[in-house]
Structure 1
C-alpha cells in the first residue's frame, strides 16, 4: 500500500507541474453550429437591406394623393375623411362584417333604395371669402354603403378647396347637422331615387345628378364609381359633381361648352356627356386663380 501511494503521489506531482494545454486533445469544432451562425448573420443582413428599401419607398407615398391620378396638372386630393375618429369607427364596424353595412360588397351600387334618408350628424365652421352664407346639410339614402358623416366631411373639404367657389368670393358655405335649419340639402341617392327626385327637371336616366329647388341630388353611382369619361379617380370626380351642382345654385344656370382642344373643361360643362377635345377638370379655377369657362350652351 505504501509503494502504490507513493506512485500515485508522484503522478499527481507530475500532473500539477505539467504546463497547461500541453498534451491536451484539441477542442472539437462544430461545423453545424458555425454554418447556423453564418446563415443567421447573412439572413439578418438581407432582411435589413430589404427593410431599408421598403421604408424608403413607403416615404414617397404621401397621404391625401390618389394613386390613380397621373402626374402633371392633377390636383392633390384632400386627406381621406375616413381618418376622422367617428368615420374610423364606422369603417371598422363594416370591416368586421366583412362587407359594407348593408351586406353588399364594397363598391357595389344598388339600383334602387327605400327613398328614405339619414342625415349626417356633423357640422363645421363657415368657409369662403365673400357672398351670402349658405348653410347646407348632407343626407344619404338608407341601405347604401356610404357613411353620411364621411360624405359630409368630404363635401365640406370639396367646398373649402383653394380652387373651389368659396375661395374665390362666390359664396360662403357652412356644414350643419341634419337637425339644424339649412338653406341647401345635398342628398346622395340610388339611381332610381335620383330619377324620381330629379324628374321635375328632366330624365336623369339613372346616370346623372341634378339641382332641385331645395338643393342638390347626387347619384350614388356617380359618387362611388365616378364617370367613364372623366380622366381621374372617383374621389376627384366628386369635386366635379359638387362644384357643378353648386355652380348652378350660385348663378351659373346654363351649361358651358369646351373652350378649345386640349384646354381644361369648365366645371359647368356636362363632362359626363363628353369632353369634346377638352381635358377633364374638377375645379372652377386654375391653380393661378383664373376662372375656367367656355361658351354658354342654350
Structure 2
C-alpha cells in the first residue's frame, strides 16, 4: 500500500503562535519560571529586557538548529531505504517458496498460455492429499467461456468442458488444464492439420471433456462399451463416442508408478488428457519403443511404463512421436 510522503526538513510541527523554546520557565535568568508581566521604566529596565531577549533568541536558535540536524538525519535514512527497496515495493521473506506449477492460475480467454517452467516450482506435487469423492451427483457444470483457436492450420474441432457436481473441482480450473494440454508445444495441434477451440456449454461441439467421479466415470464409460475397472474398482479413464471421460481418482492421485518415479501430477494430467483425446482423434494404443526411451502418448501409461519414461506429448521436436502398435 502507498505510504504518505515523508515531511521535509523545513516543516517541523510547531503549534501556531509558539516556538519550541516558548514554554514557561524555559528562559534562563528567570527564577522559578516567573515572568515580569508589566513594562519597566528606566535604563536598567531597558537593559534587562535586552539581555533577556538576547538570551531567548540564542536559545531558540540552538533548539531550531538541533531540530534541523535530527530532521536531516531522518530524511537521509528514508532516502537510503527508498533507494534500496524501490518505491512501493514489498520485501520478500527469506526462504519464501513459490507455489507448485499445478496450482498456478492460467489464462483462458484470448491467450495461448505456455507450459510453466519446472524450475519455478520449489516442491513438485506428485499427488494431492486427502480423500477423493468416489461419487457425485451425476450432473455436470460446464465452463461457459469461449477460448482461443489453438493450432495454425486444419479443421477446427470444437470441444466443451464439464465437471461433475460434488467432485470438489472447478470447471474453470479444469478448462485451463485442458487448454494447456491442447496448446503444447507438443500437443495434437502440432500436426498442422488440426485446430482446437473450447466453446460454451450449450454450443454445438465435436466432443466434450468430462471430469467425473470414479462411479460416474465407470457408468459413462460402460454405456460406451468400455470397462475401466481394475480389481473391481473404476480405475482408468476412457473415451466413448463424443465423450472424453477423465476419472477424478486419477486426476487427483495420479498412479503409483508415476509417484514412485517422482513424476509431477501436472505431467500425468497432461498425459491423460492427450491420451484420451488421442482416441477421440482416431489413434489406437501403442507400445514402449525401447527401454529408457520416452513413452508414446498412446501407450497405456496409466497401467505401466514398461521401461519407458513418462511422456505427455504426441509430438516431439515438431514431429509425431509414436511406438509400435499394440
Q: Which runs of 5+ in 1 are unaligned?
A: 1-6, 29-33, 70-76, 85-105
Once the two structures are superposed, residues 213-240 of structure 1 have per-residue CA deviations (whole angstroms, 9 ceiling, x without a partner) of 2321101122234444154443443221
Aligned to 1:20: 54
- Asked if 1 retains the 8 angstrom alpha-carbon contact of 2:190 and 2:315, the reply is no
| C-alpha separation in 2, matches of 1:42 and 1:165 | 58
Change (3 A) 1:110 1:160: same
1:138 matches 2:161 = yes
Aligned to 1:109: 132
Q: Deviations over 1:40-89 (max 9, x none)?
A: 9979977986789x86869xx9xxxx8546xxxxxxx89724787xxxxx
The 3 A distance-change label for structure 1 pair 277 and 214 is same
1:214 matched to 2:242: yes
- Is 1:182 matched up with 2:205? yes
Structure 1 residues 271 and 48: CA distance shift in structure 2, 3 A: farther
Distance 1:153 1:176 in 2: 13
TM-score w.r.t. the length of structure 1 is 0.65
* Separation of aligned partners in 1, 2:318 and 2:48: 98
How many residue pairs get aligned? The number is: 251
- Aligned equivalents of 1:108, 1:47: Cα separation in 2: 48
C-alpha distance 278-46 of structure 1, shift in aligned 2 (>3 A): farther
Residue 151 of structure 2 is matched in structure 1 by 128
Where 1:273 maps in the other structure, the secondary structure is coil
* Alignment pair present for 1:269 and 2:299: yes
Q: How far does residue 210 in structure 1 lie from its aligned partner after superposition?
A: 0.9
Does residue 207 of structure 2 align to residue 197 of structure 1? Answer: no
Greater per-residue helix proportion: 1
Q: Is the 8 A contact 1:259 1:295 kept in 2?
A: no
Aligned to 1:278: 308
Point out the structure with max Rg over C-alpha: 2
1:22-61 equivalences in 2 (<5 Å): none
Contact 2:286 2:322 (8 Å CA) reproduced: no
Q: CA deviation at 1:107?
A: 6.8
Question: Is the aligned partner of 1:166 residue 2:189?
Answer: yes
Cα root mean square deviation, aligned: 4.3
Inter-CA distance 48–223: structure 2 relative to 1 (3 Å threshold): farther
Structure-2-length-normalised TM-score: 0.60
Unaligned segments of structure 2, at least 5 residues: 1-39, 64-68, 110-128
1:88-109 CA distance string (max 9 Å, x none): xxxxxxxxxxxxxxxxxx9752
Corresponding position of 2:23: none
Instruction: Return the offset for 1:131.
Output: 4.6
Could you tell me which of 275, 280, 284 is aligned with 1:253?
284
Q: 1: CA distance between counterparts of 2:235 and 2:276?
A: 15
Give the superposition deviation at 1:209: 0.9
